[in-house]
């Protein structure tokens, strides 16, 4: 039996794409290899959002050069955001790679599969995993039209394209029949869902339709853009029982000058108003955000405004990245990357240490409380799962059945996880 190996880095969208490739290959009769060395087909799903990620991909590609030399019959494929519309320069740089396909460019993979003796890829059917998973990613909108000045994603993933709501409904129904209990709807700007469709459907409508699926326990969605977050959507999260009180709302910077240079389309005041409205409408909501530090020209004072926003808003989780100039983007073309790497790293570490203190305080308030956990599996001899607010919980006790909701009494907390005992 032929075997495949998939290596993935990057965002949830990449993980969802890799899952779809795996589903296709399993349906075609291949089995998963434990390492690249044992595989007949190696797929690298790449991320180039930051230089650091790109370097990892390049290292991985270089590490496969020798393998291809000793086993020329192995097929190596590269996908993800490293593959642009003209992969010729990649072919020249990595001649040992056999196949390049852009994210979602399934027709290229399918054509190659047929030449390799596999059935064609069926983009809809291959969304459903063969082995059941408690939590499944469901892309609902691909691409992005926003063109934030620092971001390479729109250049590599193309224009925003919402999936048809009936197709998404069928997809989630099938997942639930296969044992899935929680779906995470994905989009670069997930709250823009539907705007490009001829019918007047939005994310709130989609959530309401999914909420009616019997057997589905929880629904989440990521990532929301502040400019697209509507009152209707906020109310849907508050009203629909399966939709978790958890919103991922990247702010990126706390200074209005930097926000304008990033082309984010809102001010810190508008963001603050939105957070107020979300917190008034959805009691107990968990909020997460993304922040970039060291954007071109960011002064110490401007960076301090980002810290102020973190201190004031008290997010449950913050993903902090140091600015990394990306080719093709307007920031890389027009703005000088003028902060030294050590300065960017110092700002990143300062923001992280502040956020760790805040998250530790927020989680400490859960000590002694009972929280509802969806059991996902076991790790290091303990059951693990997540709360509705997306907090990771490790627990003991005999209530642990994968895919069930259990009540857990919290006995220990830290900035990144909770520990407890099942009731
Ligand atoms: N669509 C989401 C949004 O609007 O924020 C996020 C998508 S982006 C792929 C994921 C995160 O990577 C961003 O939130 C941003 O913080 C970070 N990121 C994107 N480009 C970056 C860059 N050039 N340098 C550093 N971080 C970057
Ligand atoms: Fe990138 Fe901005 Fe689109 Fe997010 S909204 S994917 S940061 S361009």
CA distance 35 to 197: 42
> Does 253 share its domain with 228?
yes
Mean pLDDT of the region 183-196 = 98
Residue among 51, 125, 122, 123 at smallest CA distance from 81: 51
In ligand 2, the atom with minimum distance to the C-alpha of 188 is 6
C-alpha–C-alpha distance, residues 92 and 101, integer Å: 15
- Look over the chain and give the mean of its residue pLDDT values, rounded to a whole number: 96
Q: Which of 191, 298, 321, 352 to mutate to test the pocket of ligand 1 (most atoms within 8 A of CB)?
A: 321
User: b/e map of 160-185 (b: 16 or more CB within 10 Å)?
Assistant: bbbbebeebeebbbebbeeebbbbbb
pLDDT band with cut points at 50, 70 and 90 for residue 188: very high
What's the confidence (pLDDT) of residue 400? Answer: 63
User: Quick check: is 201 in a domain?
Assistant: yes
Average pLDDT on 61-67 reads: 96
> Which atom of ligand 2 has the smallest separation from the CA of 152?
1
260 Cα to the center of ligand 1, angstroms: 15
Residue 118 Cα to ligand 2 middle (Å): 36
Quote the pLDDT of residue 85: 81
**pLDDT band (50, 70, 90) for residue 165:** very high
pLDDT band for 399, please (50, 70, 90 cuts).
low
Residue nearest to atom 1 of ligand 2 (CA): 151
Q: How confident is the model at residue 333 (pLDDT cuts 50, 70, 90)?
A: very high
Residue 412 shares a structural domain with residue 318:
no
pTM, whole model, 2 decimals?
Answer: 0.96
> What pLDDT score was predicted for residue 131?
81
Mean pLDDT in residue range 210-224: 98
Same domain? 150 vs 225: yes
Residues 307 and 324 in one domain: yes
pLDDT of residue 152: 97
Say which CATH number the domain at 13 has.
Answer: 3.40.50.12160
Same domain, 145 and 85: no
Same domain, 163 and 101: no
Residue of 359, 274, 371, 362 whose CA lies nearest to 318 = 359
CA gap 247, 83 in Å, rounded: 30
If asked whether residues 357 and 245 sit together in one domain, one would say yes
Specify if 111 maps to a domain.
yes
Residue 138 lies in a domain: yes
Ligand 1 pocket, 49 CB below 6 A?
A: yes
By three-state DSSP, how is residue 296 classified?
coil
Same domain assignment for residues 339 and 404: no
Q: Measuring from atom 5 of ligand 2, which residue has the nearest CA?
A: 146
Ligand 2: centre distance to CA 223 (Å): 10
- What number of helices (H) and strands (E) belong to the chain? 14, 18
First to last CA, the chain: 46
* pLDDT at res. 398: 72
Kindly give the distance from the C-alpha atom of residue 35 to the centroid of ligand 1, in angstroms, as a whole number: 30
Q: What is the mean pLDDT of residues 317-327?
A: 97
Q: Is 11 in the pocket of ligand 1 (CB under 6 A)?
A: yes
Cα–ligand 2 centroid distance for 146 (angstroms): 6
298 and 408 fall within a common domain: no
Q: Quick one: which atom of ligand 1 is closest to the CA of 150?
A: 23
Residue 125, in any domain of the structure: no
- Ligand 2 atom nearest the C-alpha of 145 is 3
Q: How confident is the model at residue 3 (pLDDT cuts 50, 70, 90)?
A: very high
The CB density around residue 65, as the number of other CB atoms within 10 Å, is 13
Q: Which ligand is nearest to the CA of 154?
A: 2
Average confidence (pLDDT) over 243-259:
98
E strands, 49-173, where?
75-80, 99-100, 135-139, 141-142, 161-162
Predicted pLDDT at 423? 85
pLDDT of 92 over the 80 cut = yes
Final residue of a domain: which of 115, 143, 173? Answer: 115
**What are the backbone dihedrals phi and psi of residue 23, each rounded to the nearest 5 degrees, phi first?**
-60, -45
Percent of the chain surpassing pLDDT 70: 100
Q: What total number of domains does the chain contain?
A: 3
Q: How far apart are CA 261 and CA 271, in angstroms?
A: 16
Residues 415 and 294 in one domain: no
Q: Does residue 284 have a pLDDT over 80?
A: yes
Ligand 2 centre distance from Cα of residue 73 (Å): 39
Query: For tokens 């400490």, what's the residue?
Result: 364
Residue nearest to atom 14 of ligand 1 (CA): 290
In a domain, 120, yes or no: no
- Distance of alpha carbon 286 from alpha carbon 310, whole angstroms: 14
Q: Which residues contact 338 (CB under 8 A, 6 or more apart)?
A: 296, 297
**One domain for residues 374 and 350:** no
Per-residue b or e along 83-111, where b marks 16 or more CB atoms closer than 10 Å to that residue's CB: bbeebeebeeebeebbbbbbbbebebbbe
**Domain presence at residue 340:** yes
225: CA distance to ligand 2 center in Å?
8
Q: Please check whether residue 396 lies inside any domain of the structure.
A: yes
**Residue 328, in any domain of the structure:** yes
For atom 25 of ligand 1, the residue with the nearest CA is 323
Q: If you measure from the C-alpha of residue 348 to the centroid of ligand 2, how many angstroms do you get, rounded to a whole number?
A: 20
Residue-wise pLDDT for 103-149, tens only, equals 999 999 999 999 999 999 988 888 888 787 999 999 999 999 999 99
Q: Is residue 1 pLDDT above 90, yes or no?
A: no
Question: Counting ligands in written order, which one lies closest to the CA of residue 339?
Answer: 1
How far does residue 264's CA lie from ligand 2's centre (Å)?
Answer: 9
167 and 103 in a common domain: no
Residue nearest atom 5 in ligand 1 by C-alpha distance: 250
Structure confidence by residue, pLDDT tens digits, 13-46? 999 999 999 999 999 999 999 999 999 999 999 9
Query: What is the domain range of residue 418?
Result: 370-422
């Amino acid at each position: 039996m032929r075997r495949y190996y998939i290596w993935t880095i990057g965002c949830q969208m990449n993980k969802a794409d890799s899952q779809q490739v795996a589903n296709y290959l399993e349906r075609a009769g291949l089995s998963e290899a434990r390492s690249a060395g044992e595989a007949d087909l190696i797929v690298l799903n790449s991320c180039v959002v930051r230089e650091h990620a790109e370097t990892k991909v390049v290292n991985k590609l270089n590490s496969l050069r020798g393998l291809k030399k000793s086993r020329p019959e192995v097929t190596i494929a590269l996908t993800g955001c490293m593959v642009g519309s003209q992969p010729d320069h990649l072919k020249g740089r990595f001649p040992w790679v056999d196949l390049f396909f852009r994210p979602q460019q399934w027709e290229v993979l399918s054509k190659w599969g047929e030449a390799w003796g596999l059935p064609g890829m069926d983009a809809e059917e291959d969304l459903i995993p063969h082995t059941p998973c408690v939590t499944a990613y469901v892309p609902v909108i691909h691409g992005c039209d926003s063109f934030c000045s620092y971001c390479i994603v729109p250049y590599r993933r193309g224009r925003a394209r919402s999936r048809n709501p009936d197709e998404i409904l069928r997809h989630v129904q099938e997942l639930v029949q296969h044992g899935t209990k929680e779906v995470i709807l994905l989009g670069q700007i997930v709250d823009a869902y539907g705007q490009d469709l001829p019918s007047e459907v939005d994310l709130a409508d989609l959530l309401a339709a999914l909420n009616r699926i019997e057997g589905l326990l929880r629904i989440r969605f990521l990532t929301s853009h502040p400019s697209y977050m509507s009152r209707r959507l906020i109310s849907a999260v508050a009203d629909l029982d399966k939709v978790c009180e958890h919103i991922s709302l990247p702010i990126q910077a706390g200074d209005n000058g930097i926000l304008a240079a990033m082309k984010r389309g809102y001010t810190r005041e508008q963001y603050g108003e939105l957070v107020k409205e979300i917190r008034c409408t959805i009691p107990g909501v968990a909020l997460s955000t993304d922040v970039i530090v060291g954007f071109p020209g960011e002064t110490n004072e401007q960076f301090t405004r980002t810290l102020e926003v973190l201190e004031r808003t008290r997010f449950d989780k913050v993903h902090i990245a140091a600015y990394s100039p990306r080719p093709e983007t307007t920031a890389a073309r027009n703005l000088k990357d003028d902060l030294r790497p050590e300065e960017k790293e110092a700002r990143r570490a300062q923001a992280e240490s502040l956020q760790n203190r805040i998250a530790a305080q927020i989680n400490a308030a859960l000590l002694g409380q009972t929280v509802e956990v969806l059991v996902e599996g076991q790790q290091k001899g303990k059951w693990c799962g997540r709360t509705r607010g997306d907090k990771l919980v490790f627990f003991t006790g005999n209530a642990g059945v994968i895919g069930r909701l259990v009540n857990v009494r919290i006995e220990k907390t830290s900035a990144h996880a909770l520990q407890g005992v099942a009731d």
